[in-house]
């Protein structure tokens, strides 16, 4: 993992990490949540279908947490700051 | 460093499994003979444990009948069971299954896993594995106790337990063995010949403390029926708690498990989670993918009646947990008293049992649902197989109002469904107890019997999951393709070949390791944690290769038991009568599935052919 200062940290569950060789944290430079996710999928194109729908909306089955706070869908426009932590979680999982 | 009995010789590593030894006890139930020994591992799968080891034992057997004495039952643990790693509590029960059968009628190898504290106590008592051979001539319990000279094992009469519910058996045993944890069958397992989907209950500290039926379950594949066929009513593992010092690495890992993204789905909303598997209802309903009326969603909005929010007014819902687990995935519902406080315990609501006994059975009143969920647990049955088989009956009766079967129950008849559960769990309805494959063949209507290879489907519609047939031990626990259409919407052949052969199969990893899938460890972290906690240094690639070999060996073992390509198919309704209510392109046509099979088998056949041979076990 390449560490960058001023970075937003995106933490990924196994569904994502296992598709990118076990990388569970990705640091990106971004000003909004949407930017951060775009930076994530630019770097790891394999994750694009999990994050975005065909028409570039956020996958309706993904739930976002910013610094442990669940975002509503419009939260894509929220500003992020260096040191913030973003998580993207699938809404369906069985067991 | 080692919290387990597994002994790793100096310099031992994944590359040299022979330097790793584990403690096995074999009991010949017919003679009461006990043999305990250390065995060297033959490959990394054996080192890791769970079905990676048990299936190699089963592979050496020829078994034509799951209830025959030559069908051994392997009770084992994973390398991380009993360790300090959060959720490291799993026990595995493996045998040839009465339920999972090929079209030739031969039983297939199966495992079922459960949490609770039994596996941990088994390890602390000094065993990694217990093998049950033959059959006792009267009902017994197996008592395993730690001692200065190693584990002591004996058989004791179990007559005083007969007829009791699972949790009542456990509480009776607890009064006799206060330092122990327990595995037990219920009335269903006692009537194994008439209930093939009998399960095994595992005790939790919560159950022992409160007396409520808060067991964890090794439910799938009729492992409780196999245990019952051996006349084993329960297993007691007694040991003092041996909590090893927590290393900084494991402390950090546990914090990550309890608060990180991997378990967020299963944690409580008040702890930053999404509320557990129960919370699958809402997202699946967006796509009309919540099973209704025997896996046939209608789009009428009724699934919303089982959303968790809809129940909050009438019940107190509490998240509770297994031993030392911070995920708290058990969503237990309690009566809400007039003053709003918590009253009596009612049942545990997980998505799969809840759906199969409510929305998928046409029952939408929570007050009618919880007694069904609770009764299945009391009687000791797999709620997935029991629920799905009963849903088949409800469907059959809806289609044949003039010639219904059993008590004529159809969708929404909660009282009659309850009667069916009661009767099948006490051995009175053997036709129902044989599962949906045999029952539907007997009734001559197989198209809407929701099983693959004899194992009933969990609560995810098959219309969106052509990966089901390649699941080796239950549709969602051993092939992680059940949510992909909702999640990614990709229905191309290439995508599905890859989903099944590259990613979906790896979900079985934790069924070797001894941890819960809910811990959400990715493979990199899992490999690191084996090194930190156990001293077994494996790379992510080595770990994944071992998991893959274990999966491929399970497919090979299915073939050994007569499975042919014809067995790997879907309920015909999926092909012939796509459901227009589901908001997804109906892509699982016969043509698509045939092409998918060709491509999937091209990959798996090649790997089956090149599976490394396994030497016979060391003897002496
Ligand atoms: S995740 Fe759930 S089942 Fe697993 S150990 Fe924790 S509380 Fe128990």
The pLDDT tens digits of the residues spanning B69-96 come to 999 999 999 999 999 999 999 999 999 9
Domain boundaries, chain B: 7-238
User: Going by C-beta distance under 8 Å and a sequence separation of 6 or more, which residues neighbour residue A88?
Assistant: A10, A12, A13, A16, A37, A50, A51, A62, A63, A64, B261
Distance CA B232, CA B430 (A): 21
Residues of A in contact with B350 (CB under 8 A): 95
Nearest to B200 by CA among B191, B189, B209, B208: B189
B178-186: average pLDDT: 98
Q: Is the pLDDT of residue B2 over 80?
A: no
Q: What is the pLDDT of residue B296?
A: 98
Helix and strand numbers (H, E) in chain A are 3, 5
Residues of A in contact with B482 (CB under 8 A): 94
Ligand 1 within 6 A of CB of B87: yes
Confidence of residue A5 (pLDDT cuts 50, 70, 90): low
> Could A60 and B283 be called an inter-chain contact, meaning their C-beta atoms sit closer than 8 Å?
yes
- Tally the C-alpha atoms within 13 A of residue B140's C-alpha that lie toward its C-beta: 21
8 Å CB contact between A95 and B459: no
Indicate the number of domains in chain A. Answer: 1
> Could A18 and B283 be called an inter-chain contact, meaning their C-beta atoms sit closer than 8 Å?
no
B116-123: average pLDDT: 97
Confidence of residue B620 (pLDDT cuts 50, 70, 90): very low
Identify whether A95 is part of a domain.
no
| Ligand 1 atom with least separation from CA of B326 | 6
Identify whether A2 is part of a domain.
no
- Smallest Cα distance from B270 to chain A, Å: 11
Mean pLDDT for chain B overall = 95
The boundaries of the domain holding residue A16 are: 8-90
Identify whether A1 is part of a domain.
no
- Smallest Cα distance from B220 to chain A, Å: 12
Q: What is the pLDDT of residue B614?
A: 82
Nearest to B436 by CA among B401, B406, B393: B393
Q: Is the pLDDT of residue B384 over 70?
A: yes
Q: Which of B274, B489, B517 sits opposite A91 (nearest CB)?
A: B274
Q: Could you tell me the CA-to-CA distances from A34 to A25, A74, B135 in Å, in that order?
A: 17, 10, 62
Q: What is the pLDDT of residue B242?
A: 87
| Ligand 1 atom with least separation from CA of B216 | 3
Nearest to B115 by CA among B216, B212, B186: B216
Ligand 1 within 6 A of CB of B206: no
Q: What is the pLDDT of residue B3?
A: 46
3-state helix, strand, coil in chain B (%, to 5): 40, 15, 40
Distance CA B196, CA B92 (A): 18
Query: The tokens of B492 are what?
Result: 């191309």
Q: Could you tell me the CA-to-CA distances from B516 to A13, A18, B142, B226, B596 in Å, in that order?
A: 15, 17, 26, 24, 30
Q: Is the pLDDT of residue B334 over 90?
A: yes
8 Å CB contact between B79 and B534: yes
Distance CA B184, CA B482 (A): 31
**∠ at Cα B547 (B543, B550), nearest 5°?**
140
User: Whose C-alpha lies nearest to ligand 1, atom 2?
Assistant: B329
Residues of A in contact with B471 (CB under 8 A): none
Distance CA B108, CA B216 (A): 24
Ligand 1 within 6 A of CB of B6: no
Q: Could you tell me the CA-to-CA distances from B182 to B169, B220, B322, B392 in Å, in that order?
A: 9, 18, 14, 33
Distance CA B418, CA B465 (A): 30
Question: Does A57 contact chain B (CB < 8 Å)?
Answer: no
B301-314: average pLDDT: 95
B609-617: average pLDDT: 88
- Smallest Cα distance from B540 to chain A, Å: 8
| Dihedral (CA of B112, B117, B122, B123) sign | positive
Measured in whole angstroms, the distance separating CA B55 from the mean position of its chain's CA atoms is 15
Q: Is the pLDDT of residue B619 over 80?
A: no
> Could B483 and A94 be called an inter-chain contact, meaning their C-beta atoms sit closer than 8 Å?
yes
Distance CA A60, CA A71 (A): 13
3-state helix, strand, coil in chain A (%, to 5): 30, 25, 45
Distance CA B594, CA B614 (A): 32
Ligand 1: residue of B321, B350, B517 to mutate (most ligand atoms within 8 A of CB) is B321
Nearest to B330 by CA among B197, B171, B213, B459: B213
Question: Does A60 contact chain B (CB < 8 Å)?
Answer: yes
Q: Is B55 helix (H, G, I), strand (E, B) or coil?
A: helix
Q: What is the pLDDT of residue A2?
A: 46
Distance CA B197, CA B385 (A): 6
Q: Quote the ligand 1 centre to B512 CA distance (angstroms).
A: 16
Q: Could you tell me the CA-to-CA distances from B506 to A43, B43, B512 in Å, in that order?
A: 24, 18, 11
Nearest to B178 by CA among B205, B218, B148: B205
Identify whether A39 is part of a domain.
yes
> Could B489 and A11 be called an inter-chain contact, meaning their C-beta atoms sit closer than 8 Å?
no
Query: The tokens of B32 are what?
Result: 């009461």
Read off the CATH number of the domain in which A75 is found.
Answer: 3.10.20.30
User: Going by C-beta distance under 8 Å and a sequence separation of 6 or more, which residues neighbour residue B113?
Assistant: B50, B90, B91, B92, B93, B218, B477, B511
Measured in whole angstroms, the distance separating CA A15 from the mean position of its chain's CA atoms is 12
Tens digits of per-residue pLDDT, A38-68?
999 999 999 999 999 988 899 999 999 999 9
Tens digits of per-residue pLDDT, B403-449?
999 999 999 999 999 999 999 999 999 999 999 999 999 999 999 99
Task: Tell me which DSSP letter residue B26 carries.
Answer: E
Tens digits of per-residue pLDDT, B224-283?
999 999 999 999 999 999 888 999 999 999 999 999 999 999 999 888 899 899 999 999
Query: Is the CATH number of domain B7-238 3.60.9.10?
Result: yes
Confidence of residue B616 (pLDDT cuts 50, 70, 90): confident
Confidence of residue B11 (pLDDT cuts 50, 70, 90): low
Nearest to B291 by CA among B599, B581, B592, B596: B581
ipTM summary value: 0.91
8 Å CB contact between B219 and B195: no
Q: Quote the ligand 1 centre to B329 CA distance (angstroms).
A: 6
Distance CA B177, CA B31 (A): 24
- Pairwise pLDDT comparison (B18 vs B544), residue with the higher score: B544
Q: Is B598 helix (H, G, I), strand (E, B) or coil?
A: helix
Query: The tokens of B427 are what?
Result: 């051995």
B540-568: average pLDDT: 97
The angle, 0 to 180 degrees and rounded to 10, between the axes of the packed helices B366-379 and B166-176 is: 50
Q: Is the pLDDT of residue B121 over 70?
A: yes
First to last CA, chain A: 31
> Could B520 and A70 be called an inter-chain contact, meaning their C-beta atoms sit closer than 8 Å?
no
**∠ at Cα B405 (B185, B408), nearest 5°?**
90
Test the A interface: residue of B112, B255, B261 with most A CBs within 10 Å: B261
Q: Which of A17, A89, A95 sits opposite B522 (nearest CB)?
A: A17
Residue of chain A nearest B114, judged by CA positions? A95
Nearest to B559 by CA among B453, B475, B421: B453
Task: Tell me which DSSP letter residue B276 carries.
Answer: S
Q: Minimum mean pLDDT among B167-181, B376-390, B523-537, B590-604: which range? A: B523-537
Task: Tell me which DSSP letter residue B236 carries.
Answer: E
Binding-face residues of B in 458-497 toward A, CB within 8 A: 458-460, 476-477, 482-483, 486-490
Return the number of CB contacts < 8 Å for A and B: 100
Q: Is the pLDDT of residue B1 over 50?
A: no
Q: Could you tell me the CA-to-CA distances from B491 to A37, B28, B603 in Å, in that order?
A: 24, 51, 19
Quote the percentage of chain B above a pLDDT of 70. Answer: 98
Residues of A in contact with B460 (CB under 8 A): 94
Distance CA B120, CA B123 (A): 5
User: Whose C-alpha lies nearest to ligand 1, atom 3?
Assistant: B115
């Amino acid at each position: 993992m390449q560490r960058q200062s001023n970075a937003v940290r995106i933490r990924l569950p196994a569904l994502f990490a296992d598709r990118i060789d076990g990388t569970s944290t990705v640091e990106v430079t971004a000003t909004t949540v949407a930017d951060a996710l775009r930076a994530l999928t630019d770097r790891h194109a394999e994750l694009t279908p999990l994050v975005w729908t065909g028409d570039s909306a956020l996958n309706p089955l993904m739930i976002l947490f910013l610094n442990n706070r669940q975002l509503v869908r419009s939260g894509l426009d929220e500003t992020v700051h260096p040191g913030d932590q973003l998580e993207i979680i699938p809404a369906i999982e069985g067991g | 460093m080692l919290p387990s009995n597994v002994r790793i010789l100096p310099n031992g590593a994944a590359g040299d499994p022979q330097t790793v030894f584990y403690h096995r006890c074999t009991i010949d139930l017919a003679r009461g003979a006990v043999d305990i020994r250390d065995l060297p591992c033959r490959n990394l799968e054996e080192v890791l444990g769970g079905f990676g080891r048990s299936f190699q034992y089963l592979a050496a057997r020829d078994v034509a009948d799951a209830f025959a004495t030559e069908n051994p039952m392997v009770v084992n643990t994973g390398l991380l069971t009993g360790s300090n790693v959060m959720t490291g509590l799993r026990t595995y029960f493996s045998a040839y299954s009465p339920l999972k059968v090929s079209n030739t009628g031969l039983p297939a190898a199966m495992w079922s896993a459960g949490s609770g504290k039994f596996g941990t106590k088994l390890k602390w008592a000094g065993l990694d594995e217990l093998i049950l051979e033959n059959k006792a001539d009267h009902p017994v319990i197996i008592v395993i106790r730690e001692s200065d000279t190693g584990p002591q094992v004996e058989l004791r009469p179990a007559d005083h337990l007969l007829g009791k519910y699972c949790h009542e058996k456990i509480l009776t045993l607890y009064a006799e063995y206060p330092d122990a944890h327990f595995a037990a069958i219920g009335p269903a397992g006692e009537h194994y010949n008439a209930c093939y989907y009998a399960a095994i209950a595992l005790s939790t500290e919560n159950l022992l403390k409160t007396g409520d039926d808060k067991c964890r379950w090794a439910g799938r594949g009729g492992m409780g029926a196999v245990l019952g066929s051996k006349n084993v009513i329960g297993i007691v593992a007694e040991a003092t708690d041996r909590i090893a010092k927590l290393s900084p690495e494991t402390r950090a890992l546990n914090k990550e498990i309890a608060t990180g993204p991997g378990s967020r789905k299963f944690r409580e909303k008040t702890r930053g989670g999404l509320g557990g598997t129960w919370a699958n209802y809402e997202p699946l309903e967006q796509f009309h993918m919540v099973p209704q009326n025997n896996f046939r969603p209608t789009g009428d909005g009724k699934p919303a009646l089982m959303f968790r929010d809809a129940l909050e007014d009438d019940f107190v819902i509490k998240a509770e947990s297994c031993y030392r687990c911070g995920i708290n995935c058990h969503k237990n519902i309690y009566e809400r008293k007039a003053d709003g406080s918590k009253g009596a315990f009612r049942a545990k609501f997980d998505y799969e049992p809840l759906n199969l006994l409510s929305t998928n059975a046409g029952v939408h009143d929570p007050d009618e649902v919880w007694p069904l969920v609770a009764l299945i647990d009391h009687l000791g049955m797999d709620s997935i197989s029991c629920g799905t088989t009963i849903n088949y009956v409800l469907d059959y009766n809806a289609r044949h109002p003039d010639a219904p079967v059993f008590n004529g129950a159809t969708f929404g008849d909660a009282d009659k469904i309850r009667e069916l559960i009661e009767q099948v769990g006490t051995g009175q309805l053997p036709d129902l107890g044989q599962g949906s494959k045999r029952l539907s063949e007997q009734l001559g209507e197989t198209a809407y019997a929701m099983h693959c290879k004899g194992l009933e489907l969990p609560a995810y519609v098959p219309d969106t999951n052509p990966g089901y047939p390649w699941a080796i031990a239950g549709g969602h626990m051993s092939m992680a393709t059940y949510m992909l259409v909702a999640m990614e919407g990709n229905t191309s052949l290439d995508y599905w070949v890859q989903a099944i052969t590259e990613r979906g199969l790896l979900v079985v990893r934790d069924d070797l390791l001894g941890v819960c899938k809910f811990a959400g460890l990715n493979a990199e972290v899992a490999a690191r944690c084996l090194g930190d906690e156990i001293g077994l240094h494996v790379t992510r690639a080595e770990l994944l290769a071992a998991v893959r070999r274990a999966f491929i060996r399970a497919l090979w073992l299915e073939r050994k038991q007569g499975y042919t390509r014809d067995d790997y198919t879907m309920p015909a309704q999926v092909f012939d009568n796509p459901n227009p209510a589901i908001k997804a392109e109906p892509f699982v046509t016969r043509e698509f599935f045939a092409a998918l099979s060709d491509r999937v088998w091209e990959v798996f056949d090649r790997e089956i052919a090149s599976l490394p041979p396994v030497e016979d076990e060391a003897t002496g």
